[in-house]
Structure 1
């Protein structure tokens, strides 16, 4: 029986992106799975993109759409910095993302989280979901994995967290989404932004906590089944 494949049908895309403020800056986090329907196109992609020295953006939805928005905003912010002779603020960067997203809302399928630090307002997180709305929030979550995390964040997030507490929260939340959301997976990347600069961290899958019914990492399916290696038989 022939199965016809509709190549024009929209692909389901998934991810988990998070931005959290803490006492002194912000922490951004994301998983690394780029999916095209049921096919994993990239298992170690970087979804946290630099816009300026002090502002980064987490990307979800269509990878192509989010990348082109990030490229345009980075270019405009570079011109803005040259004209003003000082770094752009987080609010300016977020509003440029909002402007491009809103003016092209009929063509773009992307949700973004802008996070950074500046000397005027400190650490800030702005959510720019599909459609181009902009909302400043103490924390923001996006992507397909976010639907599993709202209740967790309502319980776990608190004001005045330290840098380590905020990063632990982000790492734990992304690993929870990876456990439940089939479109999220891979490694966890975090970016910490504060007055001292930017710190990038990388957490491979075997360093993430395991949740209910998750299996221990193995080198191959044969290890799980307990079968001997083919070459050893």
Structure 2
């Protein structure tokens, strides 16, 4: 009887977790260097205490050289990114030129602000355009918009403020930026239970987008 009750109790916990919204409890990051942007994220998606996807791609392109990094409700952020991509495609067709990062960020801001009572979405919009060069905009919960030289977000970001404050510097090289981003995401994975999996990062500059993956067994272990 005790075994049956234990099984039923565990089964109910699983069912309760599955009823939770699917969230990208996550670590996302974007850093500007002279001439480009480096963006990075972990790959874990959770529902309650359950990991529902270990290899989610949270670096979502909305234009050729513009990406959104998503944290919050997976459904909400995916839908917003799809809508922004649709509008940017129309705008670029009408104007006959690629959209700017500022244009994309303001579209994200508009949707996140207007529907702030219905959505759980925090976005980092980053990329490169010929008008402004490399740009990073943070759109936190509620729909504010803040242009920054670097931005971090998601549950894992709470572990990174000290590291970022101590190690960020203006006009880093591309290699320094890659090291900064991958080390930060790795540190968050080591501490944050909602961050994990692999590290995806991308380098965005005037030449285009260069994407890379650091697999789980290659993520630095900071406790050895």
With normalisation by structure 1, the TM-score equals 0.87
Q: Find the counterpart in structure 1 of residue 201 from structure 2.
A: 190
Q: 1:51 aligns with which of 47, 62, 67?
A: 62
State whether residues 23 and 71 of structure 2, in contact with CA within 8 Å, keep that contact through their aligned partners in structure 1.
no
Q: Find the counterpart in structure 2 of residue 74 from structure 1.
A: 85
Q: 2:177 aligns with which of 146, 162, 166?
A: 166
CA RMSD of aligned residues (A): 1.5
1:83/1:10 CA distance change after superposition, 3 Å: closer
Q: Find the counterpart in structure 1 of residue 52 from structure 2.
A: 41
SS of the residue corresponding to residue 58 of structure 1 reads: strand
Q: Where in structure 2 are the equivalents of 1:190-229 lying within 5 Å?
A: 190-212=201-223
CA distance in 2, matches of 1:9, 1:72: 24
Instruction: Compare the two structures and name the one with the higher helix fraction.
Output: 2
Shift of 1:146: 0.3
State whether residues 23 and 72 of structure 2, in contact with CA within 8 Å, keep that contact through their aligned partners in structure 1.
no
CA distance in 2, matches of 1:12, 1:57: 16
Shift of 1:119: 1.2
Q: Find the counterpart in structure 1 of residue 36 from structure 2.
A: 25
CA distance in 1, matches of 2:22, 2:60: 23
Shift of 1:12: 6.7
State whether residues 15 and 144 of structure 1, in contact with CA within 8 Å, keep that contact through their aligned partners in structure 2.
yes
> In the alignment, is residue 60 of structure 1 matched against residue 71 of structure 2?
yes
Shift of 1:207: 1.3
Shift of 1:191: 1.2
Number of equivalent positions:
213
More moved, 4-13 vs 35-44: 4-13
SS of the residue corresponding to residue 51 of structure 1 reads: strand
1:137/1:205 CA distance change after superposition, 3 Å: same
Structure of higher CA gyration radius: 1
State whether residues 22 and 161 of structure 1, in contact with CA within 8 Å, keep that contact through their aligned partners in structure 2.
yes
Q: Find the counterpart in structure 1 of residue 186 from structure 2.
A: 175
Shift of 1:38: 1.1
Shift of 1:10: 5.9
CA distance in 2, matches of 1:63, 1:154: 29
Deviations 1:26-74 (A, max 9, x none): 1110000001111110001100100000100000111100000000000
Q: Where in structure 2 are the equivalents of 1:72-221 lying within 5 Å?
A: 72-212=83-223
1:66/1:11 CA distance change after superposition, 3 Å: closer
